[in-house]
Structure 1
């Protein structure tokens, strides 16, 4: 288990608890009272720390190396019904963007999402979750296929941004993202978006238009990362915490500004602290969201979606 800087008090108490329990098992000394006392302190410390997280601490949690990624959610939610589909039928198969068919109960869904790696080798293979234009074109191809067969779409957003390389720009990165945004606004099937980690810039928007946008509690969604914002405004990454606060990028901020529809609660300690509970919570949230939209006609879906996004950023003086 890896700990972030602000989680070090929890680490110390957990180590004390494990040592006390080990002493009790290895000797005949009764340490049950001590263990209970440490456990109580541990729970209180956890509640205190996670209740008062700053914006930057939530950014750190969203990047936790043990945090579940898109394929973890899909495998947990769909089980053996998952069938991955590949390629944009133009350039190649982008490994940073995955997609395919899966079932929740008896209902089929088209799942699309960015996928990060678990170690150095897989991070390079997945390009750190940064998709090229062909990744967005693959996503669009799968969404249009879902529309053709009347299958609802679920997207998982988790990216530090679209890949900014020269070759990506040469192949039309901006156009690919813009095309996705346009086509998703008028897709004739329900779209459910789940932000499970980082939601940065156009890389997130390229699969982020939906009838229902869900955001996990310890995630972020913004036009730019705190580090990049800090480097532009202050010529240094040292002000990333200040930038995170100013950007209003947390789930609560997004909900307050009506840019997302619902916050999905995470287990105490973050999604990685109890993966099974997180998977069940997300699965139930997707099912509930689909129930909301499954009986709407394509015309109603598109009209409501257009109205929803047209009203964003409108303020009355």
Structure 2
């Protein structure tokens, strides 16, 4: 079912920019037709050619980067990975990093004019590494946020499985906000409302549904009595170490102090990728949401100074 893009997705940005004390840059929604008939969607911040590309984690979308992008004040792309946001779902349900990286390569070729600083969180981090390994001409540097190929974050906690259990469409977004708050997700109600609004869409029949495919796959798995796959399909991390070993661009691993990558995981990463730099930030797994200013500073230190 075709669903029109709702431009009110940008309605939260002025208040976010004001809270940061920064100007609001131009922001637009881009859509790229792909060779197989799918479309890839992204947000472009700034009016100049992007030199930073941001890739979100599983179950999120490009808007997870809004505060980080505003704090950074540089021309950039924030891509909705396949199966997320306003990008098409895959009929084959293949959301592995190497497959996702092919879409990102098409986006970088279409929307940028220079190799990108590729910043990816969780699934996006593995996707950025896969892209850098397969298309080094498109990537100047890689920042991998709170993920290593040695850990699998797709199983998720029991509360997250419960959150995605049951119906995949709802009478209103308030239903989802109430459910999220009751299970301990989100912060304040306005913050939770923003997250739900940007990760759902209104169908032509007036019902609200999740944008990302993983929630629908989770519900199907639960209906089939397969709780072990009830948050998202496996992203098959086995190829991740091979991709990282093949990357010739500089690599930074950002470990969230309250995230999923342990000190032992980070040490394993550095052992396997000895040229990698390790940075620890005081944040949860979604570093771009819980430490956006610190993350923006890290990204800025890796790019020449050129403001929006």
- TM-score range (shorter-chain normalised) is 0.3 to 0.5
Tell which has more relative contact order, 1 or 2 (C-alpha 8 A, sep 6+): 2
- TM-score if structure 2 supplies the norm length? 0.35
TM-score (norm 1): 0.34
